[in-house]
Structure 1
Amino acid sequence: MQTTVGEFLLRRLKDIGITEVIGVPGDFNLSFLEQLRDAEGIRFVGACNELNAAYAADGYARSRGVGALLTTYGVGELSALNGIAGSRAEHIPVVSIGGAPPQYATEFRWNLHHSLADGDFANMLEAIAPFTEVAVRVSPMNAVEEIDRALRTCLREKRPVHIQLPSDITHLTIEAPDAPLDTSLPASDPERLEAAAARILEVLARAEHPLLLIDQDADRHGFTEPLLRLAEKAQIPFAQMSSGKALLPENHPLFIGTYNGAASAPGVKDRVEHSDFLVTTNPRFIEVNSGSFTHELDHALVVNLGDQHASVDGEYFVGLTTRELIDALIDRAPERPATPREPAPTTSAAAPTGPLTQAELWPRMARFLRADDVVIAEAGTSHIGLSAQQLPANVKYINSPIWGSIGFTLPATLGSQLAEPGRRHVLFIGDGSFQLTAQELSTILREELNPIIVLMNNRGYTIERYILGMEDEYNDIQNWSYGALPQVFKPDTTMKSYSAQTFEELEEALAAIESSDAGAFLELHLPPADAPAGLKAFGPLTAEFDYGPRGPRNP
């Protein structure tokens, strides 16, 4: 069929499930935006800046399966690069589209704005390439081939890709296939699939202490639901890494807790490290999810499931589509009866009263959460506070445990709720992180979304204080009138603001929020030096790791 370059790209984005493209207009992408404006079934959502747009596209992808970002050449692309790098680190499929200067200008090396005015138009792609799986500038001659290659790679590898679209080619006519984009993975090599399944089942049959250890790649590649079915059929207990929180239900009878090296939940470390059938999903151990590299899996018999390969105690199987392997294991694994378990004892501790404290706040906020909520936790106090709490069934938990760029979660909430508007979204964010991306609250309100935003106001960077500088002003920030911001950004907003300094005020605010379908902005006032127990331990360990024996210390 005949179509234009821009229309073909939009059709392909719709083929993979994208209905919103998030970004910032610029002169080199306006021709494409005209086509996006006129397209059916897909629309543009403007963000306040490119970094926020990249964060939002990441959040969108976590809930929809893939996201799309639109920027302009140079200034826009590089402004978004931190967010794109975060998607790379966290294995999130984002299609980044950069409006580029006209093709003739790049071919003849004209000196242009948004460039270094030296005729070099390769440098932006070279800057972005290390953080993407594909980085390409398309032309009318290669648009079909390169766009399809980029999108298939994005979905297969679960990594961002970047497509530069010259401003003068978007309306040019090309020949393009009429069929929707086929994104299915190729079938496994039959012999390798059978060999891998037989070897894993052989090890499972001998195992006395089987265990699943879940990390984020299980979610990225769609393994969580089938792994849960395997665990339930074969009665295999499971643990999670802190970077894989709530991917499998934490209230499940087979769940044993979080593995974090020496900082693991009680009893979890020994069970994980001495399992004779430990199924992992390409775990990536960094200092924050390994108890400062105190993880030791040398004594475990590890069955690792990658996206296109598997290994069993050091024996490798390639040529696999691993979802087919897991399905084969589910079909052939022996079914074992569930072991009756004593229900966990319930406590009826009195509701906390008086000024808010971190120790009592997080258990209360965990009880506020509902099954099927989307919970977004900012790096630092919020994530560490929630990490120790058991979340309800089917909660989707969004955070950035590896990249850890603060400010990510407010725009990510925008993106996630655009992707799944029917689910309740609850964001937990600190005041310091909020100030980095606060303007995206205006986009949330403009789009008439209704998240519950819980802001921890502890007058600065408490996590940094526990690393270094507890009393130093470099960890302080200007206190804002946070509750006034919804009406500042949108005077007729339906979002309601609440503030609490005590648990009595918190209960009153939560009751009002529960009884309303409107969005909520809840500001919680906490002492600057108060922190969850996990953060108090994390700070000194980080200082020791970062600064060494001659470095500065907290008092």
Structure 2
Amino acid sequence: MLLGRLRQYGVSRIYGVPGDYNLEFLDLIERTPDIRFIGTCNELNAAYAADGDARLSGVGAVLVTYGVGDLSALSAVAGACAEGVPLVVISGMPPLHAVQSRALVHHTLADGDYDNVMTCYRQFTAASTRLHPASATMETDRVLNAMQVARRPVYIQFPSDICFAEVDAPPPVLASQASDPALLARAVECLTQRLARAKRPVVLIDAMVRQYGLGAEVLRFCERYAIPYAALSTGRTLVAESGPLWLGQYGGMASAPEVAAYVHASDCVIGLGVRFVDSTSGYFSQHILPGAMVDVQPFSLTSNGENIQGITAANLLDAMVRRQGEQPPTTRLQQQVVSGSPALSSPAGEEWGQAAFWRAVEPFLRAGDVVLADNGSSMVAMLHAHLPEQCSLLVQPVWAAIGYSLPAALGACLATPRRRHVLFIGDGSFQMTAQELSSLLRHQCNIVVFLINNGGYTIERMILGPQAAYNDIADWDYAALPAALGKGPAPLSLRVGNAKELDAALTRVAGHEGLAFVEVGFTPMDAPAGMAAMGQAVRHYDYGFGTPDAP
């Protein structure tokens, strides 16, 4: 029944690790058409992979074994909760008779407590349950509906001895997400009045647009009303990043100057799910004019102190577009549109370093690519890059777990196998989850991996301890790893240490099918533009001004 429900919600892959409490469930997966089990090297990576899959396919699923598997995956599940990614986490747990008798079994604390793991997961999920044959259908539908509404992870414990228990499974009753007509009309009137008075409106896009699949609706709304739009780092590539209405990325004073100037002078800032987190707002340097914010969340609108519940953002955007009809957008708004920064170009004879590298790889990216960048210099660079049409950028700025992007790339590759995938990851991040490179090889994923080798945690050096030993890591032979982690013909693996070598490497990998691995070497304090300023902002916020001097 559970697998059937997952198929109805669009799940076709379940990531995980076999364990003695989930083996019968794995047998069920093998007997179920249209669902594949994707084994990973550990449960943390499985949940990261499901996260990457869900960001492109709509929903991800993870299978773990009780206790050790649950807690191994929990950090990634918490990240999905923070970033608004719908996951179904299924835990094969000890049999019901062991739970009921409080038996002292392995993978527990051997104290008879079978509620402690559930308690942990309740902090990071929209709903959780332990299945029992008498209530399995009702509980499964309740939990999956919660995931659908909240667009966040849910958790299901599946006792090992009930996998093959037969239960009635009538068609599911999906949770309604319709708006109250009167409240929707009030919200439309409120937003219409704000726009009528506005001289300089702007739309800010955040992760809610991905969570609820609103990209097309947002673009129609902005085009119909000729409103410029910008995206927070969590909202990049969710709406077309071209055309006269696209301003660029907004992150407070960390934005391009013209983007920050436009947003900060706006008298009507329509925030779509906006959360001003430190890492997405230039460390709280957003300067929104008093009273300018119109806060549109998934199920509410707040403006000038009035809060309207009982609506959905999707219904609101659709109603606003229909209200405007086919009227041409006002010239007044069109004349105030500004464009983002011009694309970077590499000056002739530029000295080798990260600045030269990022300028060279930006034109290497092509329309339709899925680009992943790990926390650190890779994410900083990609968030300031101009990405081609129809690219998808997968980053994790809020939870900001290093190592996220490599296993997430596995999920992304399996969710969209016909697209090219490009991963940028630092050496410190890579060492956290490097095992999953073997899974990318195993599944013959079409991906180019750029390993940024700068001898340790450069982003931490920018905050504190530029020469400190605690920011050093072991020096791996990174370019040798692809051959060691997979059998068969050795994958394309290259080392780059200067501009000439980079040009040759980009030419070789441009037309390569399968996995290509490029290790790119830099000095420890070499970093993309803006990273030193970010490090200083983090240092001051986290430690105050009485710390030792940093760069």
Same fold (TM over 0.5): yes
2:420 is the alignment partner of 1:429: no
Tell me the equivalent position of 2:363: 367
2:401 is the alignment partner of 1:408: no
Report the 3-state secondary structure (helix = DSSP H, G, I; strand = E; otherwise coil) of the residue aligned with 2:257: coil
CA distance in 1: counterparts of 2:342 and 2:439, whole angstroms:
42
Tell me the equivalent position of 1:325: 316
1:201–1:375: structure 2 CA closer, same or farther, 3 Å change rule?
Answer: same
Instruction: Give 1:107's match in structure 2, choosing from 75, 100, 103.
Output: 100
1:172, distance to aligned residue in structure 2 (A): 0.9
Tell me the equivalent position of 1:489: 485
Instruction: Give 1:117's match in structure 2, choosing from 107, 110, 117.
Output: 110
Tell me the equivalent position of 1:290: 281
Instruction: Give 1:170's match in structure 2, choosing from 163, 166, 181.
Output: 163
Tell me the equivalent position of 1:91: 84
CA distance in 1: counterparts of 2:347 and 2:513, whole angstroms:
26
Instruction: Give 1:537's match in structure 2, choosing from 527, 533, 538.
Output: 533
User: Per-residue displacement from partner, 1:397-438 (whole Å, max 9, x unpaired)?
Assistant: 101000001000000000111111111111000011001100
1:500–1:113: structure 2 CA closer, same or farther, 3 Å change rule?
Answer: same
1:190–1:354: structure 2 CA closer, same or farther, 3 Å change rule?
Answer: closer
Instruction: Give 1:128's match in structure 2, choosing from 112, 121, 125.
Output: 121
CA distance in 2: counterparts of 1:63 and 1:365, whole angstroms:
23
1:268, distance to aligned residue in structure 2 (A): 2.5
1:298, distance to aligned residue in structure 2 (A): 4.1
CA distance in 1: counterparts of 2:545 and 2:306, whole angstroms:
41
8 Å Cα contact 1:65/1:93 also seen in 2: yes
1:184, distance to aligned residue in structure 2 (A): 6.1
1:203, distance to aligned residue in structure 2 (A): 1.8
1:95, distance to aligned residue in structure 2 (A): 0.2
2:43 is the alignment partner of 1:47: no
CA distance in 1: counterparts of 2:39 and 2:138, whole angstroms:
29
Report the 3-state secondary structure (helix = DSSP H, G, I; strand = E; otherwise coil) of the residue aligned with 1:164: strand
**Correspondence list, 1:276-287, <5 A:** 276-287=267-278
CA distance in 1: counterparts of 2:284 and 2:346, whole angstroms:
38
Instruction: Give 1:304's match in structure 2, choosing from 280, 295, 301.
Output: 295
8 Å Cα contact 2:92/2:157 also seen in 1: yes
1:348, distance to aligned residue in structure 2 (A): 9.9
1:503, distance to aligned residue in structure 2 (A): 1.1
8 Å Cα contact 1:133/1:161 also seen in 2: yes
**Correspondence list, 1:244-259, <5 A:** 244-259=235-250
Counterpart of 1:11, as a letter, is G
CA distance in 2: counterparts of 1:9 and 1:417, whole angstroms:
25
CA distance in 2: counterparts of 1:238 and 1:277, whole angstroms:
12
Instruction: Give 1:82's match in structure 2, choosing from 68, 75, 84.
Output: 75
CA distance in 2: counterparts of 1:70 and 1:345, whole angstroms:
44
CA distance in 2: counterparts of 1:174 and 1:361, whole angstroms:
58
Report the 3-state secondary structure (helix = DSSP H, G, I; strand = E; otherwise coil) of the residue aligned with 2:530: helix
Tell me the equivalent position of 2:57: 64
2:469 is the alignment partner of 1:473: yes
8 Å Cα contact 2:231/2:250 also seen in 1: yes
8 Å Cα contact 2:345/2:359 also seen in 1: no
8 Å Cα contact 1:233/1:335 also seen in 2: yes
CA distance in 2: counterparts of 1:122 and 1:214, whole angstroms:
39
1:182, distance to aligned residue in structure 2 (A): 5.0
2:389 is the alignment partner of 1:389: no
Counterpart of 2:500, as a letter, is E
Report the 3-state secondary structure (helix = DSSP H, G, I; strand = E; otherwise coil) of the residue aligned with 1:553: coil
Instruction: Give 1:499's match in structure 2, choosing from 479, 495, 501.
Output: 495
8 Å Cα contact 1:36/1:44 also seen in 2: yes
CA distance in 2: counterparts of 1:266 and 1:342, whole angstroms:
11
CA distance in 2: counterparts of 1:348 and 1:301, whole angstroms:
33
Tell me the equivalent position of 1:268: 259
Report the 3-state secondary structure (helix = DSSP H, G, I; strand = E; otherwise coil) of the residue aligned with 2:88: strand
Deviating more after overlay: 311-320 vs 56-65: 311-320
Counterpart of 1:112, as a letter, is V
Taking only the aligned residue pairs, the percentage that are identical comes to: 42
Report the 3-state secondary structure (helix = DSSP H, G, I; strand = E; otherwise coil) of the residue aligned with 1:168: helix
Report the 3-state secondary structure (helix = DSSP H, G, I; strand = E; otherwise coil) of the residue aligned with 1:172: coil
Deviating more after overlay: 159-168 vs 270-279: 270-279
1:343–1:225: structure 2 CA closer, same or farther, 3 Å change rule?
Answer: closer
User: Per-residue displacement from partner, 1:343-401 (whole Å, max 9, x unpaired)?
Assistant: 99979966655763111221221111111111101001001112222111111110100
2:548 is the alignment partner of 1:552: yes
1:118–1:199: structure 2 CA closer, same or farther, 3 Å change rule?
Answer: same
1:342–1:206: structure 2 CA closer, same or farther, 3 Å change rule?
Answer: closer
Counterpart of 2:393, as a letter, is Y
User: Per-residue displacement from partner, 1:111-166 (whole Å, max 9, x unpaired)?
Assistant: 11000111000011001110111121110011101111111111210110000000
CA distance in 1: counterparts of 2:318 and 2:124, whole angstroms:
32
1:346–1:217: structure 2 CA closer, same or farther, 3 Å change rule?
Answer: closer
1:531–1:344: structure 2 CA closer, same or farther, 3 Å change rule?
Answer: closer
Instruction: Give 2:514's match in structure 1, choosing from 511, 518, 531.
Output: 518
Q: TM-score, normalised by structure 1?
A: 0.94
User: Which structure 2 segments of 5+ residues have no match?
Assistant: none
CA distance in 2: counterparts of 1:165 and 1:335, whole angstroms:
56
Tell me the equivalent position of 1:376: 372
8 Å Cα contact 1:457/1:523 also seen in 2: yes
Counterpart of 2:103, as a letter, is W
8 Å Cα contact 1:274/1:299 also seen in 2: no
CA distance in 1: counterparts of 2:99 and 2:344, whole angstroms:
69
1:516–1:352: structure 2 CA closer, same or farther, 3 Å change rule?
Answer: farther
1:26, distance to aligned residue in structure 2 (A): 0.5
CA distance in 2: counterparts of 1:472 and 1:135, whole angstroms:
43
Counterpart of 1:442, as a letter, is S
8 Å Cα contact 1:74/1:114 also seen in 2: yes
8 Å Cα contact 2:256/2:341 also seen in 1: no
Tell me the equivalent position of 1:4: none
Tell me the equivalent position of 2:444: 448
